[in-house]
Structure 1
Amino acid sequence: MSLTLAEARARAAQLSEVAYDVALDVTDPASQTFGSRTTVRFRTSCPETFLELAGAREMSVHVDGAPTEPAYDGKRIHLTGLRTDGPVEVVVDARLPYVSDGDGMHRTVDPADGETYVAAYLGMDVAQKVFACFDQNDLKAPITTSVAADPAWTVLANGRAEVDAPVDGRWRFATTPPIPVALLIVAAGPWASRRWEHAGLPFGWHARASLAGELDRDLAELRQVTEDCYDHYASMFDEPYAFDSYDQVFVPGLNWGAQEMPGCVSYRDELLPRGQVPADVRVFRASVIAHEMSHMWFGDLMTMTWWEDTWLQESFADYMGYRVAGEATGFGGALVAHEIAGKPGAYDADARRSTHPVAPDPEDIPDVDSAATIFDAISYAKGNSVLRQLATWLGDEMFLAGVNTHLTRHRFANATLADFVDALDEASDRDVRTWVDQWLRSTGFDTIRFTRHDDVPVLSRDGSRPHRVRVTAYDEEWAVVGSGLVDLADDPVPLPAYAGRVVVPNAHGETFARIELDAASAEAVDAGLCRIEDDLVRAVLWTMLLDRVQTRALSAEDFVDVLERHLPGEGSATMVTSILNRTSSRVLPLRAPAAAVGDLLELVAATCGTGLLHATSPELALAFADGVAAGSHDAEALHAWVEAGAVGQLPLPPTLRWRAVRRLAELDAIDAAAIEAERSREPGTEAEVGAAAALASLPTGSAKAAAWSVVGDPDVDNRIFSATMAGLWSAEQADLVAPYVERYLAEAPAWAERGQAFAQVVGRARPTLLLTDAQLRLLDDALAGDLPTVLRRQWEDWRDDLGPSLVE
């Protein structure tokens, strides 16, 4: 039972002055349950309503001090006979289950040292798994949190602790301003904590005790990025930071990359890896820090009313994350990462049946389960790109003026797209409302193309949206001979100043549109892509090529030929990693016949080997080495890497070491006993997930059966599930894993019932190989049946990506 739009609107109209006192007891993490006591106070205009509380055990309810036994269906507490002439107080005592799937009070035992951590990971329909509440965004409320925990632990929450490290383990935190219940956080365990003050506020970074060394290794960078982002937002936004502290914690098992909990942001602790931190991780981490901090204003201070305005928070934060990481923190490659790692997926998403407007109508999101399906590349990467185009089209000063009006007008309240448009319209003399209809209320994207008329480049548009884009022209040596912004609408725009030149439209990715070059420019790019100095222009052109593979205008074989010629000369480690990730996850599995995948993987690995030989920095070497380890057929060389613990003079980080071990397993060049020995060599999360993937990669029937028993365990940890499934599906083992395609289609719907976030995990764990005719029919039959909402969305996207023309 998922909350519907109609129910949310009715309850929001009925209730007011909501406040919570939430008391949690995690003193016995070895138990199956934790204690949750909620006191909720509110006024109501109707004598009946309901609180959400999922899976409660040993529950008791008091209303205005009197015990009562309300109807309870396992998710909703139905309250009746409530007073309407004054405040109501409801106290709910319950035991609730710990989870291992990242949806609720997640419990983790660190394999590195045996220490236990518990943390409340909330979100859509998840707050109710931790405390009794009115689980909807537009009933924001102040929350006072207290936690009973092991006295040796540190507990983090949204507000400042009244006493640091209370000797009895009973923590109480300052009451928050009004926030959505989905943004409560509690994170408890023996954290390694590093604290300081900045701008008059307490700040902190925290991680598992076994990652204390890694936290200290990166602390100077983490602190500097945090302070730079905070200072930048303080100058950008009129509204001051609204909360009393700013903690950030790397947590195990989080389903999302990070979550914007007010005053205490959580990050998946894969962003604090052991060993050398890859360049793409550092860039992405800085962007995520900026992204989550922007949510303190867009999302936490001002909150969407219903889920159709997911974009209003996530698109904005995604845009600000890459922008501010580049402008304020010294990570100039942040925008490159968006162009090459984010936009390709957004173009994919916008071409599927599941596409939706960046800003859909509320009726298009009838319930919270439906809302879970739009936390996607449309709401993030496309929305980010569209907001960047809006700021370019309006001018940054007018854009930020509208943003500030909106934030001030709706501080500690809820807002909609209409409210945002009103604020922008007041700040600008341009036709914002028409722009919004064209860009935010419609699906799909335009194509910007260059043609030539008597050697004069002509810019034109297939579509209906206005664009303001940078056009850059080059000479035959790839030196820039001209660059500037051009407004493009219905009429073609000739550019006589660039006659005879190679021309790249949308050169810095200012808009969201497919680009098509004229024949002369396309030929020049094919010959000289790696010679272009501007990283951002190269990112735009690589994205163009990846889009051509997705649309089948360029074959997988021809794309790999482009890689062979240009990737070894690529100077951006972020670009190398992103291109290789896309090649391994989509180009080869979805666009190459299974019989050809092995040879193409070897070509890609050899290309990376060339790049590794000529790498000009450790970051580039690490990126190319990862590509070698992912696809090489040279088992002897991979064994040498693992035995030496290094690639030449470059130490192998644990993730790269496990990449090599997994490839050896795929090649049948290592056995289960050796994998287990490798797991024991340096215990930790990387070893657990690495071993799970490697064991599942072994090309034997018994290994595949063992992997299936792991993922079929109803209590399987979310990380182990994902790693095992990733190892199971090898495109080079299509015949061996064929029986498990059918089993996946039959059994995954039951796995997806664990919760929305785990359903996303299950859907993303689909087979990464082309399906046969028979397998496609099974997928079509499944889609014709009854599926959980979130899984259905994932499988429909899978079916669209496969496409009927792929089956031979």
Structure 2
Amino acid sequence: MLVSLTLAEARVRAALLHDVSYVLDLDITDADSFAVRAEVTFSCREPGAETFLELAHALELRVDGAEPEYDGNRIRLTDLQATQTILVEARLPYVTDGDGMHTFTDPADGETYRSAYCSIDIAHLVYPCFDQNDLKASITLRVTAPEAWTVLANSRVVSSENGRWEFATTPPLPPAMFAMCGGPWASVTWEHAGLPFGWHARASLREQLERDADDLRRVTEACFDHYAEVFTEPFPFDSYDQAMVPGHNWGAMETPGCVTYRDEMLPLSPLTQPERRARSMVIAHEMAHMWFGDLVTMTWWEDTWLQESFADYLGFRVAQEAGVEAPWVDFTIARKPYAYLADARRSTHPVAPRAEDVPDVDAASGNFDALSYAKGNSCLRQLVTWIGEDAFYTGVNAYLSRHKWGNTVLDDFVDALDEATPDRDVRAWAQAWLRTTGFDTITATRDGDGPGSEVVLTREGSRPHTLRVTSYDDSWVELGSVFVDLADEPVRVPGAAVVVPNAHGETYARVRLDDVSWAAVSQGLAEIPDPDARALLWATAVDLAWAGELPMDDFLALVERHLPAETHPAVAHNVPTWAGGKLLTTLVPAEAVTGVRARLSTTYATALEQDPHPDVAAVLTRHLAAVDSDQPRLRGFAATDDASLRWTALKRLASLGALDADDIERERAADGTIVAELGAARALAARPDPQAKADAWTRIVENPKISNREVQAIAQGLWDPERTDLVATYVDRYLAETPRLAVARGSAFAELMGKHVFPTVPLTEGQVAALRTALAGDLPTILRRAWEDALDDVAG
């Protein structure tokens, strides 16, 4: 298992070393392992001292021609010179779990792809390095690959001939931002603003890349041009490639000059509108990282927010400039509720915790969560609402220029903002918003009876809020919006039939409407013309249900009453996602699951009968296929050309006992793509048969080379909330066997098992008790965090 770098070790090493650079030579031509030759040059402030290089799981290793002192994770370096170069030659294994040099063979055409997926504490699974953010280094890369391949990396190609690729030396980068992607890529390239751009995907996805090329280019250029306008620091790298890669654990990774995305973002079937909107926002998010994270990088992992919160905020903000209509609708209903959920768990942490509260990298990995992303995004949105966009960008630009190519902490950003806003106490704001945990609640009450009575807003909590309050008449005509500042003292606003605090989500706080307004919303939610306000009210309903203030039956009644009239695709997609996902498996008792799914199925079918916009129809059809029990209708879905819909329907048919293994194999063989491979794994595991469940579990736990995608697909089929008795034994086995597997297979597998294989079924009291008992044992940090979060969710 990997050794987690500690804050204390990182501080000692950063104080000792400086001026680091790497010359890397990778050979990825061998089928079983890859070779790396690294010249590591650095200066030492204390000659004669010792330190260590990280390099994990080396199969062969020589340092300066000799066998080093090596424990499988670290190479000991002694008697350091003032300046020296160390030559490391090693052979390392490929991985199939997305952490390291990932290898993937495409079942569609037999082509192989090998890509270095780095990020937090992973770079040293690819090359020897001082794997911490504040030891930035230039990287000169050479790669030997099969002759038919194209190789992508962080910088421009200097030369390529006969499978030998050389790239320009990069500016100083954190080791985790190294990128190398090799394979027979399909590519679309062009020039914009004097720089080379490209989009790349697996050869078997050439048709889909060409299908989406215009949209991908348009969004890329729109985001680039907007950042060029608002940032005074120019784009900091010499090229901008973006690659849809197989096996990626993250949604995307901001590796400079070569951003990598999960290739699920280039699906076989045309994207639904929510998928297209989400992809545009991720493109904007990753490009923001070129400045926030790559040009200027956090020093240690307590300041994850300095990268992720900014990129998340700008991803939604700048997506609007790229043509995404009302992007905050997606954020409000799809992402923000998870922040409130995370803030209620024992693992809650400030958006910007103290460094000492993140003692090692394993602890830091848990902070890539809804608090660092969605809550941090919300905090920044509140900050911009409070100080104004001009002042915000003035501070941002001062921060970027002052610290370019360097490392920063919270105070560096606050200093820059404070200078830009002499009339605002940004330090106090940062203390209140970024150094504290939890959320405030904004409650509206009526000072009198009837819809005309004045509404009083009060805050339960400690933060000052600037928020929009929108009022409607009884015909859902907007009467007006007003911004108010709410802190310790109540704020009064004029009465109306409906008064909605935080109507566009400018602040981070739970909202509780007054009784008159909520009664009107319950009857007329779908009639509200503003999609931002509808999203806020749907999110409030989700939060009320999760908090136990709205019975699940009442929440389902809202869905039945209003979803069929919903016109915004993001709302139409995410309300069913909540209703049929997290809320169902956590709040609905096992014996009621089938009935709830039947209600949802009827609601989606009713909505589709009303001939909704094609974008809404597409998402509702997929949700219907996931819960429907009408086998003829499901077989119709399974006969479509939409691969996602087809395999959703086939999995549902399998779970109903309507398909056997031979049926599924025929479908898989007729398709031949990775979508079919994973869809078949999901459908095989979904069959309501004890042997099918036993086979599924065996595939997960007994194949050490199983890919991350296959594990997740099997788990999605294995757990069946309608047949908890059938999978009960695997809940027990999951809790008993996962700790051993997590230790044996490392942090990536631990996270996969903890987050994506955890049973998605209503748990019995006994199973919850077993989870508590398991948490009393010795667990890897990453698995413990995932299980504690799960326990907090199911135990309330």
TM-score bracket, normalised by the shorter chain, equals: over 0.9
Match of 2:789 in 1: 797
TM-aligned CA deviation for residue 5 of structure 1: 0.3
Matches within 5 A, 1:52-71: 52-62=54-64, 67-71=65-69
Identical-residue share of aligned pairs (%) = 54
CA contact (8 A) 1:61 1:68 kept: yes
- Code of the residue aligned with 1:99 in structure 2: it is V
Match of 1:602 in 2: 598
CA contact (8 A) 2:61 2:67 kept: no
Equivalent of 2:330, from 337, 341, 362? Answer: 337
Task: State yes or no: 1:658 paired with 2:656.
Answer: no
Match of 1:38 in 2: 38
Any idea what SS the aligned residue of 1:470 has?
Answer: strand
CA contact (8 A) 1:103 1:758 kept: no
CA distance in 2, matches of 1:240, 1:704: 55
* Mean Cα deviation higher: 406-415 or 583-592: 583-592
CA distance in 1, matches of 2:495, 2:283: 44
Match of 1:235 in 2: 229
Match of 1:253 in 2: 247
Any idea what SS the aligned residue of 1:744 has?
Answer: helix
CA contact (8 A) 1:557 1:592 kept: no
CA contact (8 A) 1:357 1:441 kept: yes
- Code of the residue aligned with 1:792 in structure 2: it is R
TM-aligned CA deviation for residue 487 of structure 1: 1.1
TM-aligned CA deviation for residue 528 of structure 1: 0.3
Equivalent of 1:567, from 543, 563, 569? Answer: 563
Deviations 1:111-136 (A, max 9, x none): 11110000000011111000000000
CA contact (8 A) 1:22 1:36 kept: yes
CA contact (8 A) 1:117 1:188 kept: yes
Match of 1:752 in 2: 742
CA distance in 2, matches of 1:394, 1:16: 38
Any idea what SS the aligned residue of 2:723 has?
Answer: helix
Equivalent of 1:768, from 752, 757, 760? Answer: 760
CA distance in 1, matches of 2:314, 2:500: 25
**Alignment coverage as a number of residue pairs:** 784
Match of 1:478 in 2: 476
Match of 1:186 in 2: 180
Deviations 1:139-181 (A, max 9, x none): 0011011100011000000000012xx3310000000000101
Task: State yes or no: 1:786 paired with 2:782.
Answer: no
Matches within 5 A, 1:291-302: 291-302=285-296
CA contact (8 A) 2:768 2:795 kept: no
CA distance in 2, matches of 1:707, 1:694: 10
Task: State yes or no: 1:205 paired with 2:199.
Answer: yes
CA distance in 2, matches of 1:664, 1:52: 49
TM-aligned CA deviation for residue 621 of structure 1: 1.0
Match of 1:363 in 2: 356
Equivalent of 1:4, from 3, 6, 21? Answer: 6
Deviations 1:479-528 (A, max 9, x none): 00111211111111111xx3233100000000110000001000000000
- Code of the residue aligned with 1:357 in structure 2: it is P
Match of 1:649 in 2: none
CA contact (8 A) 1:98 1:105 kept: yes
CA contact (8 A) 1:14 1:44 kept: yes
Match of 1:100 in 2: 96
CA distance in 2, matches of 1:49, 1:784: 35
Equivalent of 1:141, from 134, 137, 140? Answer: 137
Runs (5+) with no aligned partner, structure 1: 646-651
TM-aligned CA deviation for residue 58 of structure 1: 1.7
Equivalent of 1:72, from 59, 70, 73? Answer: 70
CA contact (8 A) 2:497 2:520 kept: no
TM-aligned CA deviation for residue 666 of structure 1: 0.9
Q: Over aligned residue pairs, what C-alpha RMSD do you find?
A: 1.0
Task: State yes or no: 1:391 paired with 2:384.
Answer: yes
Match of 1:467 in 2: 465
Equivalent of 1:682, from 664, 671, 691? Answer: 671
Any idea what SS the aligned residue of 1:162 has?
Answer: strand
CA contact (8 A) 1:38 1:91 kept: yes
CA distance in 2, matches of 1:578, 1:146: 45
CA contact (8 A) 2:567 2:613 kept: no
Matches within 5 A, 1:507-518: 507-518=503-514
CA contact (8 A) 1:556 1:591 kept: yes
Matches within 5 A, 1:340-739: 340-428=333-421, 429-454=423-448, 455-495=453-493, 498-643=494-639, 645=640, 652-712=641-701, 713-739=703-729
- Code of the residue aligned with 2:746 in structure 1: it is G
Deviations 1:651-674 (A, max 9, x none): x41011100000101111111111
- Code of the residue aligned with 2:777 in structure 1: it is G
Runs (5+) with no aligned partner, structure 2: none
Deviations 1:729-781 (A, max 9, x none): 11001000000001000111233233333322211210112222221221111
- Code of the residue aligned with 2:753 in structure 1: it is V
- Code of the residue aligned with 1:189 in structure 2: it is G
Any idea what SS the aligned residue of 1:421 has?
Answer: helix
CA distance in 2, matches of 1:334, 1:117: 34
CA contact (8 A) 2:719 2:727 kept: yes
CA distance in 2, matches of 1:563, 1:501: 22
Q: Which runs of 4+ in 1 moved over 3 A?
A: none
CA contact (8 A) 1:103 1:755 kept: no
TM-aligned CA deviation for residue 793 of structure 1: 0.6
CA contact (8 A) 2:471 2:496 kept: no
Any idea what SS the aligned residue of 2:722 has?
Answer: helix
CA distance in 2, matches of 1:580, 1:777: 30
CA distance in 1, matches of 2:191, 2:606: 47
CA distance in 2, matches of 1:719, 1:312: 30
CA distance in 1, matches of 2:520, 2:278: 31
CA contact (8 A) 1:555 1:591 kept: no
CA contact (8 A) 2:248 2:261 kept: yes
